[in-house]
Amino acid sequence: MEEALGFKSLLQLGEPAYTIANIAARAGKSEAYVYGRIKLADLIPPVAEAFLKDQITIGHALLIAKLPASQQQEAFAAAFRDMWTSEGNRQVLIPVRELAVWIESNILLQLASAPFDKQDEKLVPEAGSCANCPKRTGFNKLLFADVRKDSCTDPQCFRSKIDAHVAKTLESKPTLVQISSAWNSREGAPLGRNQYVELDVKKAKANSTATKLLPAQKPCDKMAEAIVMDGGKRGQTVKVCADPNCRVHHPNTPSPQQVAKERAEERRRIEKEKLAITVRHRVLATILQRVSTPLKKSDLLTVAHYLISRLSYNQTPAVAKRHKVEVKKDSDSGQELLAKQVGNYDESDLCRVLLEISLLDSAYRRTATDGEDTLLSVAKRYRVDVEKLQKAVAAEFAAKRDKKAKPKAEAAA
């Protein structure tokens, strides 16, 4: 930084007059070196302070110093990456080469892809032409020797020229179709990406000898010129087909007559389905009117079969074991075997099966959302001594532990 300020003060001397070439010759350095050092004096205060505190290296500082003051803060923030370490989340300085790639991708705007005329001095009068602009990387090869493609370092100026180009193009060609790079669009806005097909006519001419062209390469009668209103291609004019009925670019799109026919068929299908469902619900309502209590065996069996078919993969073996039904491991026939077994039960046994399946979830955990334990509530209703059963199970577990521990103790002795 001291060297940069020294070089800059020499340039500002009246007599003797110094140039970058003179300073480079006297210092024994290249002109690119001297110019790069002088740019360090143009760092904005936060970046200059970070450089003097060794928070960034000379390589990072030189990259950031090349940029306009309005872009330096953004590039400085991009020089750090959040990383989780043993001391917590910290900001780590990225390599100089990685920062150079980020600047070239996010700040430097390639002029070759610009839709406007780079020589036009009247497009934005206060900015002038790009050819004579000092903010162009190609204007100063000493400072941007490592940037391969001629680029603009002032995104605001670049965007203002694109805006002026779009306005000028629409004024001269009011019939241009306005398209968007977004997929969907609101009514009255530029056409969304799903409402047009961009045509690659140049590629079609290059492949004119090919036997088959892609749909996007085929011209059609509906082909029109369009201008991109947003995204990375904003301001570019392209050829598009925006007719959804075009048979060249939408060969699989059904005709209006076919669409009307399919909609009529769908309405008939829905009406037929509604009719069938309504009839079955009426049948169910009639059955419920005629149900007698208590339920007969056939009705209980219907409910039991329904509940068994809804048993989970983990619940089926537990119920099958309680009813002495042998289910092989990884077998899908457990529910079928259970349904066959309960078919031989009488009304009282079927009632027990229904209550068993209903309480199965509660046997593993509390299922009630209101805090009430469903299993214990039923146990209380049937006068089950839960505490007595708990003591008996605890004694059984203790006996099993003692039985397992005894051989180990004897072996140790």
Are 283 and 230 found together in one domain?
A: no
Are 329 and 348 found together in one domain?
A: yes
Are 274 and 326 found together in one domain?
A: no
Residue 400 lies in a domain: no
Are 279 and 296 found together in one domain?
A: no
- Residue range 254-280: average pLDDT? 88
If DSSP codes are grouped into helix, strand and coil, which group holds residue 141? coil
Question: Among positive and negative, which fits the CA dihedral 187, 192, 195, 198?
Answer: positive
Q: Sorting pLDDT into bands at 50, 70 and 90, what band is 205?
A: low
pLDDT at residue 151, rounded to an integer: 85
pLDDT at residue 50, rounded to an integer: 93
Are 69 and 187 found together in one domain?
A: no
Q: Sorting pLDDT into bands at 50, 70 and 90, what band is 212?
A: low
Are 208 and 316 found together in one domain?
A: no
Q: Sorting pLDDT into bands at 50, 70 and 90, what band is 76?
A: very high
Res. 13: pLDDT tops 80: yes
If DSSP codes are grouped into helix, strand and coil, which group holds residue 196? coil
Are 185 and 318 found together in one domain?
A: no
Residue 339 lies in a domain: yes
% helix / strand / coil in the chain, to the nearest 5?
Answer: 55, 10, 40
In this predicted model, what pLDDT tens digit does every residue of 275-317 receive, in sequence order?
888 888 888 888 878 888 788 899 999 999 999 988 888 888 8
Residue 49 is part of a domain; what is its CATH number? 1.10.10.2830
Residue 207: count of CB within 10 angstroms of its CB: 14
Closest CA to 103 of 143, 51, 130: 143
Domain boundaries, position 21:
2-117+129-148
pLDDT at residue 259, rounded to an integer: 82
- Residue range 177-197: average pLDDT? 80
Are 35 and 112 found together in one domain?
A: yes
Residue 403 lies in a domain: no
Are 274 and 308 found together in one domain?
A: no
Residue 413 lies in a domain: no
Are 50 and 15 found together in one domain?
A: yes
Q: Which amino acid is at 155?
A: P
In this predicted model, what pLDDT tens digit does every residue of 367-387 receive, in sequence order?
555 667 888 888 888 898 989
Query: What whole-number distance in Å separates Cα of residue 129 and Cα of residue 257?
Result: 56
Question: Among positive and negative, which fits the CA dihedral 319, 321, 327, 329?
Answer: positive
Retrieve residue 97's tokens.
């080469």
Q: What is the dihedral of CA 303, 306, 310, 316, to 10 degrees?
A: 80
Residue 88 lies in a domain: yes
- Residue range 384-405: average pLDDT? 88
Q: Is 235 left (phi over 0), alpha (psi -120 to 50) or beta?
A: left
Res. 140: pLDDT tops 80: no
Distance set, CA 195 to CA 12, 213, 218, 241 (Å):
60, 21, 17, 9
- Residue range 176-194: average pLDDT? 80
Res. 170: pLDDT tops 60: yes
Q: Give the full edge-to-edge strand order of the sheet including 237-241.
A: 177-179, 223-228, 237-241, 197-199
Element holding 103 (H helix, E strand): helix 96-106
- Residue range 61-71: average pLDDT? 88
Residue 304 lies in a domain: yes
Q: What is the dihedral of CA 137, 142, 143, 145, to 10 degrees?
A: 70
Q: How many structural domains does the chain have? A: 4
Element holding 198 (H helix, E strand): strand 197-199
Retrieve residue 176's tokens.
């241009």
pLDDT at residue 257, rounded to an integer: 83
State the pTM of this model: 0.47
Retrieve residue 392's tokens.
């008996």
Are 90 and 217 found together in one domain?
A: no
For 320, phi then psi, to 5°, come to: -60, -40
